[in-house]
Structures are given as structure tokens and as C-alpha cells.
Amino acid sequence: MNPVDIAVIGTGPGGVSAAITGKIRGKSILLFGSRRLSEKMQKAQKILNYPGLPAVSGSEMAETMLRQLDQLEIPILEKQVSAVYAMQGFFAIQTAEELYEAKTVILAAGVVTGKPLPGEDRFLGRGVSYCATCDGMFYRGKTVAVLGYSRHSCQEADFLAGICGKVLYFPQLPHDIAVGPGVSVLSEKVTAIVGEDTASGVRTGQGTQYDVDGVFVLRDAVAPDKLVPGIRMEGNHVSVDLQMRTNLPGLFACGDITGTPYQYIKAAGQGNVAALSAVSFLAAQK
């Protein structure tokens, strides 16, 4: 499979703008996101400061953007990207089913709210894992906690139940909980991961501590530095220069992921700059 010129991750105004500019510049584009484009945009009642679209509602803006993507024949790949790997001279983009390759990547995945739990970073790789399929086998016959954020976490918990001795499921966000009989659901929110050299337990908001051998944190929204290993951050945001370049050559970012102000017009403008920077980067590689 030949790598595409530009992969855009995210279909908010930043990602859509980047994809449009890239396509107009004659580049092959892979756009990952949703045909609803952006839940945040869909819910915006009135947007008052977008030039040329006075007092447009978010859903109207999304509809117009979607029409423009369709007219330019830019399809949206409705797949969740779980990781972007900076390889030598290209990027590998991992989704649940497939691996895609791109010469450049524009990250427009929006802002991830929320911080890691106390103990999460400290024990990562020492009892804390984000990947049940990768690391489940290290807990054969042992007790693990699953911190669930969506229905998808339930499937992962069921997978772990086939390997581990005991699986304790803690719903961290409200969602439909559908787990098999091998998973014990505890309706308490985990507030900290505890241990000494390795994680040995979780503490909940009720003050209860549960002793476990491993903790699987299964969020849907992945922080940028977990999504793209090696990317430089400034607080919760991706660090970029005025050309929207990140510290990784060929990787650009735009929109809310780069920081405040969280404005549609800023995101769209940055998306345009990011795409033009990607085009220049591609030209320099030839």
C-alpha cells in the first residue's frame, strides 16, 4: 500500500479546513473522523464571529462543511485512530482493524479534557496499561481492575475475563454496562491508583481500596502524547510553531488541540496553515 500524502485526524473545523486545502493543492488525503463532523460544533447554538456565515448554527455550519467535503470528493473514514507512529520517512496510523500509512499527518483531534488519575503516569508499564489485548496475558489468573469509559470498555473487560482470575469493572463515566458473568461491576469511581514499585490497588471516591495486580484504563479519548508517542506537549496541548509544525518532522497540528482560544475560525485558519505546511514539507522531500 502506498502512503497517502496527508492524513488528517479529526473532522472539526480545523481538520475539515486542512483536508480541503490539501485536496485543492492536489494531494491525496485520508480524513479520519465522523460524518457528524464534530459533536461540539453540532451542539453550538449560534456562531457569531465566522466571516461570511453570520449567526449560523453549529449544525448548519457542519452541514455546509460536509457538503463541501462531498463536492470535493473527500471521503471520511469513520474509524477511531488509536495511535500514530512516527516511522522513518512516514507515519503509521493504527485503527482497531487496520494500519494506514501517510507521508504527513495533521492532528486535529480536538482537546482532551481531564487529567490522568493520581498514580496513572507513575505506574504506566508497572501495573497500569491502556491495552487489554496487548497486556492481558501478563495477568493470567490474577486480579485486575478495569476503568471503563464506554461500552467498548465492556468488551475489553470480557476479553480480560477469559484470561484473568478476577476482573473488577469500575464505570468511570455513565454508559450502558453490558459485561459477561466473569466481570464484577462495582459502581464506584476510581480516584487514584496506588502502590509502591508497581500498582497494587485502586482507591475509590468512597474511600475504599481494592487490591489488584493490574489496572486497565480504557478511555475513548486519548491524550495527544498517548496518541502520538514522542510528541511534545505544553500542558494539555500539542506544542506547535506558527507554521503548525510539531516537534516531529512531517506531523502538524491545528485547532483546539493546540490550545486556547477554542474558536471555530481559529481552528479553520490553523487547518489551512497546517495543510500548506504539509504541502511544503512534501515538496521538500522530493
Partner 1 sequence: MIQRITNNDLSDALKQPTAVLDFSAKWCGPCKMLAPVLENVADAMQGTASFYSIDVDENMDLAMQYRVSSIPCIVILKNGKEAARDVGFQPQPGLQAFIEQHL
90 belongs to the binding site for partner 1 (CB under 8 A)? no
How many CA atoms lie less than 13 Å away from 7 in the CB half-sphere?
29
Residues 220-249 that bind partner 1 (CB under 8 A): 229-230, 248
Strand partners, 145: 168, 215
Strand order, beta sheet including 166-171: 128-129, 214-218, 143-148, 166-171, 183-185
Nearer to partner 1, 140 or 286 (CB): 140
- Convert residues 246-285 into a mask of x (bound to partner 1 by CB under 8 A) and - (unbound): --x-------------------------------------
Nearer to partner 1, 71 or 88 (CB): 88
Nearer to partner 1, 125 or 207 (CB): 125
126 belongs to the binding site for partner 1 (CB under 8 A)? yes
Query: What would the 3-class secondary structure string for 197-260 be?
Result: CCEEEEEECCCCEEECCEEEEECCCCCHHHHCCCCCEECCEECCCCCCECCCCCEEECHHHHCC
> Smallest distance from the beta carbon of 250 to partner 1, in angstroms?
11
> Smallest distance from the beta carbon of 62 to partner 1, in angstroms?
32
204 belongs to the binding site for partner 1 (CB under 8 A)? no
Q: Percent helix, strand, coil in the chain (nearest 5)?
A: 30, 30, 45
- Which region, judged by CB under 8 A, interacts with partner 1, from 50-58, 67-75, 132-140, 169-177? 132-140
> Smallest distance from the beta carbon of 219 to partner 1, in angstroms?
15
Q: Rounded to whole angstroms, how far apart are CA atoms 14 and 109?
A: 9
Nearer to partner 1, 68 or 95 (CB): 95
> Smallest distance from the beta carbon of 96 to partner 1, in angstroms?
10
138 belongs to the binding site for partner 1 (CB under 8 A)? yes
Q: Beta 76-77 vs 4-9: how paired, if at all?
A: unpaired
83 belongs to the binding site for partner 1 (CB under 8 A)? yes
Residues 43-62 that bind partner 1 (CB under 8 A): none
- Convert residues 93-112 into a mask of x (bound to partner 1 by CB under 8 A) and - (unbound): -x----x-------------
92 belongs to the binding site for partner 1 (CB under 8 A)? yes
Torsion of CA 235, 239, 241, 246, to 10 degrees: 180
> Smallest distance from the beta carbon of 180 to partner 1, in angstroms?
22
Cβ count within 10 A of residue 165:
13
Contact residues for 24 (Cβ-Cβ < 8 A; gap 6+): 72
Residue of 175, 176, 142, 179 lying closest to 157 (CA atoms): 179
Cell of 186: 462495582
Judged by CB under 8 A, the residue of 60, 63, 101, 135 near partner 1 is 135
Judged by CB under 8 A, the residue of 3, 10, 22, 127 near partner 1 is 127
* Footprint of partner 1 (CB under 8 A): 83, 85-88, 92, 94, 99, 124-129, 131, 133-135, 137-139, 198, 214, 229-230, 248
